Structure 1
Amino acid sequence: MGDRMETEYGAEWLAIHRGDYQNVLLDASRRNGARILLDADVTGIEEGTGEALGKQIVLMKNKDPITADVVVGADGLWSGLREYVLGYPKPPLETGDLAYRGTFTREQLKAFKNERVNEIMEAANVQVWLGSNRHAVFYPLRDKTEYNLVLLVADDLPPGMRTAQGNLEEMAANFEGWDPSLDLIISCLKSALKWKLLHFQELDKWTKGTVALLGDASHPTLPYQGQGAAMAVEDGAILGLLLSKLQTSGISSDSKERYAQLTDVLRLYEDLRKKRTEVNVAGAVDTRHYYHLSDGEEQVQRDQELAELPASNWEGPCNFNWGDAPYQKSLLGFDSLADAERNFDAWIRRRREGGLQKDIRL
């Protein structure tokens, strides 16, 4: 995942390997006392009764049930909890695109002894090749010891098929005649696994009582702004902040009141996240349009705008959203945690004032 999406003319790209970031999260979870269960597929959620009133019972395939105050469905694109929250099935939609992906080493690229490939390797930003109905993205990882390549082309898999093994010749042929240096980089890929890209525009809701959705379970997006994982991280950070502040401010020991507090704060989480992630999903679809323009008037205008961006130091408006400074500042410069702090403080004041007025009426 990365925190910026620009062409070779843009500012420095900061990226972290997904596996490294997962290890960061795993280590932090263990340090904070998280209990991690493996081989524990969730099969359902039930509302607690009796001593478990106001809680959720998580049913699992190979483990005993777990009782929890809050359940978070961070179970991805094919979320099992999404249907529970919505009350109806909501499978993701096919976007018409698929991806080939691969990571390779610096040594593999150095072996070409190609001046242009070496220049691309040393750049600290994303390299993007744009073309009709397809594009390619290349960027460094792990302090330029590894590199990632993603090739996005038209989806030719049958409906319902998520992945399939393609062949290297077919994969490379999609970019034949584009750029000799890209041909060399593509030759580093030793597998041509096709990944169908899916998404949906928005959900009616993200929460049901004290059950909430997070990340791709609630807002899967095309990867064309480099923000899919970042949006999930924001979700988790804000949800954690809200629950922590609720606990600090005094969560009720009464089961019904605690349930009401938690339900309400999860609605606040949804309110804070839903619009922002919907803008990101729509922005990725818009980016796809500009990435994949066929030769013509709109493509010429796009290329001219992109060529003028360095002269403006990337500070001006642009019809292409990742070249548009106001759009990028809103996407990347928004302080989600500070915004959540402010909204929680306003929320807790409203609850306390409402409770005080109720006591006075009584």
Structure 2
Amino acid sequence: MKVIIVGGGLGGLACAIACRRESIEVEVLERSKELHELGAGIQIPPNGSRIMRDFGLLPQLLEKGSQVQEVDFRRYKDGHLLRSMPFGDDITEEFGAPWVIIHRVDYHRILLDEAVRLGAVLVLGAEVVDISTEEPAVLLADGRRISADVVIGADGQMSTARKAVLGAPHSPVPTGDMAYRATFSREQLEALGDENINELCKKVAVTSWLGPEKHTIFYPIRGGNEYNLVLMRPDNLSLDCRKEEGNIEEMQESYADWDPTLQKLVSCVQSVYKWKLTHLTELKSWTKGSVALLGDACHPTLPYQAQGAAMAVEDGAVVGKLLGLLQTRYLDPKGSGTSSISARFSAQDLTAAVLALYERCRKARTTRNVQGAVMNRRAFHIPDGFIQTFRDFLLGYAGVTRKSDWTWLSSFRQRQTLGIDVVEDCTKAFEEWRASL
């Protein structure tokens, strides 16, 4: 079996690794002439790091990143600590893998190196302009046509593959929020001589300030040598603009009445871009024939659950595993497939059916994630008043693990996201599908 993956981002590379681990031929087509990931810090929750553990990459992840020890929520106005949630080994104990913070570039490099080591072919400067879903093939801007048994569209929010699957353009819609993203060196922050900032820098923690219509996130990356700051606020970009250089004065003014400690962090920003935050309502379909979508191509989301990249990586691991099971059971003449089934169905029909199974395995989970991020947005951005006070009261007793959660509800919700082994579940789903043939 040969699989073409359109897009060399985190989800696409995870898919490439999963496919190569199943001995599937893989070609990754990336439009950039140099493959490099943009952005700053990224959180990898346990459901994402579990995939990395299964890939054998967790030690590399922890070498380049750090295991989160605490998540602190603070009041926007004065920095008052609302809740410090213990993470660390409690997270690993409950969910089987740690919660990791890492620079996005480092995460991407780990996946890229592993995909190449396993034999995935990477083609740079390969811009896909059209995809045939009848006999799976991609058409490149230079006129080349490349055929495969399966095409996976991992080409992000402005996906060409999505248009091919749906038969018409379907762009993500603005959520009303945008984000400023910035990084600092430890030296920059130490030069401020601020006791509160020095205390923040001593902790391997994710710190969030919650305020009306806005919230911010701060955490260390690269072993505490750098720090990541993300500031979310109402969107003021034009409708047709997804990203532009940010105005430093505008950004500082947006947080002028916030915690003085946060204001000092913001004052360190020397250059910044702002991104429009978008998402998709549930798509009618993720697959058409032997073409399927993954990651931001089918479920871009607000970054308010730290799950966007994790869901894309899960997609890649699941579709790779399902295609591997299909190849072993039915398409490999030396395999253990059921000959009567292989005789009744063509390879293309079986492949399309397994991609439809992939969609059924993933769609409800990723839809809940999109909806959950919207719910978190409402909870984080509550205006001053009684409801905000009540939120802060509940937050003071909430936790991610059973050990730290006095509300029960918070940890129950987290277990539905963080505690599920999606690869094991998709294997069971494959066996049930196989039994139904």
Shift of residue 115 of structure 1? 1.5
| Counterpart mapping for 1:244-259 below 5 A | 244-251=324-331, 257-259=346-348
Q: Does structure 1 conserve the Cα–Cα contact (< 8 Å) formed by 2:133 and 2:165?
A: no
- Equivalent position to 1:270, from 356, 359, 368: 359
When structure 1 is superposed on structure 2, of 286-295 and 23-32 the one drifting more is 23-32
Q: Which residue of 1 aligns with 2:407?
A: 317
- Equivalent position to 2:422, from 336, 352, 356: 336
Q: Which residue of 1 aligns with 2:91?
A: none
- Equivalent position to 1:282, from 371, 381, 389: 371
Partner-residue secondary structure (3-state), 1:72: strand
Shift of residue 318 of structure 1? 6.8
1:297 aligns with 2:386: yes
| Counterpart mapping for 1:208-247 below 5 A | 208-247=288-327
- Equivalent position to 1:136, from 196, 202, 216: 216
Q: Does structure 2 conserve the Cα–Cα contact (< 8 Å) formed by 1:100 and 1:152?
A: yes
- Equivalent position to 1:44, from 123, 127, 130: 130
Partner-residue secondary structure (3-state), 1:36: strand
Query: How far apart, CA to CA, are the structure 2 residues paired with 1:316 and 1:82?
Result: 43
Shift of residue 177 of structure 1? 2.4
1:170 aligns with 2:234: no
Q: Structure 1 residues 172, 318: CA separation in 2 closer, same or farther (over 3 Å shift)? A: farther
Q: Which residue of 1 aligns with 2:120?
A: 34
Q: Does structure 2 conserve the Cα–Cα contact (< 8 Å) formed by 1:57 and 1:68?
A: yes
Higher strand share: 2
Q: Which has the higher contact order (CA 8 A, sep 6+)?
A: 2
Shift of residue 47 of structure 1? 5.0
Deviation string 1:320-345 (CA, Å, 9 cap, x unpaired) is xxxx1101111111111111111112
Q: Does structure 1 conserve the Cα–Cα contact (< 8 Å) formed by 2:103 and 2:222?
A: yes
Query: How far apart, CA to CA, are the structure 2 residues paired with 1:243 and 1:161?
Result: 37
**Structure 2 unpaired stretches of 5+:** 1-41, 46-67, 73-83, 89-98, 334-341
Query: How far apart, CA to CA, are the structure 1 residues paired with 2:133 and 2:370?
Result: 32
Deviation string 1:82-113 (CA, Å, 9 cap, x unpaired) is 11101222111011111100112112111122
**Structure 1 unpaired stretches of 5+:** 49-54, 352-362
Q: Which residue of 1 aligns with 2:264?
A: 184
Deviation string 1:235-289 (CA, Å, 9 cap, x unpaired) is 0001111111111113177896100110011011000000000000000000000
Query: How far apart, CA to CA, are the structure 2 residues paired with 1:309 and 1:269?
Result: 34
Query: How far apart, CA to CA, are the structure 1 residues paired with 2:295 and 2:133?
Result: 23
Task: Give TM-score, length-normalised by structure 1.
Answer: 0.89
Q: Does structure 1 conserve the Cα–Cα contact (< 8 Å) formed by 2:248 and 2:270?
A: yes
Q: Does structure 1 conserve the Cα–Cα contact (< 8 Å) formed by 2:290 and 2:355?
A: yes
Q: Does structure 2 conserve the Cα–Cα contact (< 8 Å) formed by 1:163 and 1:193?
A: yes
When structure 1 is superposed on structure 2, of 170-179 and 73-82 the one drifting more is 170-179
Q: Does structure 2 conserve the Cα–Cα contact (< 8 Å) formed by 1:252 and 1:258?
A: no
Task: Give TM-score, length-normalised by structure 2.
Answer: 0.74
Query: How far apart, CA to CA, are the structure 1 residues paired with 2:430 and 2:406?
Result: 34
Q: Which residue of 2 aligns with 1:120?
A: 200
- Equivalent position to 2:238, from 158, 169, 178: 158
Query: How far apart, CA to CA, are the structure 2 residues paired with 1:88 and 1:240?
Result: 27
When structure 1 is superposed on structure 2, of 278-287 and 156-165 the one drifting more is 156-165
Shift of residue 128 of structure 1? 0.3
Shift of residue 313 of structure 1? 4.6
Shift of residue 80 of structure 1? 0.9
Q: Aligned pairs, how many?
A: 341
Partner-residue secondary structure (3-state), 1:113: coil
Q: Tell me which structure has the larger Cα radius of gyration.
A: 1
Query: How far apart, CA to CA, are the structure 2 residues paired with 1:309 and 1:199?
Result: 27
Q: Which amino acid aligns with 2:211?
A: G
Shift of residue 350 of structure 1? 2.0
1:71 aligns with 2:151: yes
Q: Does structure 2 conserve the Cα–Cα contact (< 8 Å) formed by 1:133 and 1:154?
A: yes
Partner-residue secondary structure (3-state), 1:271: helix
Q: Does structure 2 conserve the Cα–Cα contact (< 8 Å) formed by 1:40 and 1:63?
A: no
Q: Which amino acid aligns with 1:260?
A: D
Partner-residue secondary structure (3-state), 2:122: coil
Query: How far apart, CA to CA, are the structure 1 residues paired with 2:229 and 2:427?
Result: 38
Q: Does structure 2 conserve the Cα–Cα contact (< 8 Å) formed by 1:206 and 1:212?
A: yes
Q: Which residue of 1 aligns with 2:338?
A: none
- Equivalent position to 1:16, from 97, 102, 116: 102
| Counterpart mapping for 1:187-206 below 5 A | 187-206=267-286
Shift of residue 188 of structure 1? 2.2
Shift of residue 315 of structure 1? 2.2
Q: Structure 1 residues 290, 77: CA separation in 2 closer, same or farther (over 3 Å shift)? A: same
1:95 aligns with 2:159: no
Query: How far apart, CA to CA, are the structure 1 residues paired with 2:113 and 2:287?
Result: 28
Q: Does structure 2 conserve the Cα–Cα contact (< 8 Å) formed by 1:317 and 1:326?
A: no
Q: Does structure 2 conserve the Cα–Cα contact (< 8 Å) formed by 1:117 and 1:181?
A: yes
- Equivalent position to 2:432, from 323, 327, 346: 346
Partner-residue secondary structure (3-state), 1:348: helix
Q: Structure 1 residues 271, 189: CA separation in 2 closer, same or farther (over 3 Å shift)? A: same
Query: How far apart, CA to CA, are the structure 2 residues paired with 1:79 and 1:3?
Result: 24
Shift of residue 167 of structure 1? 1.6
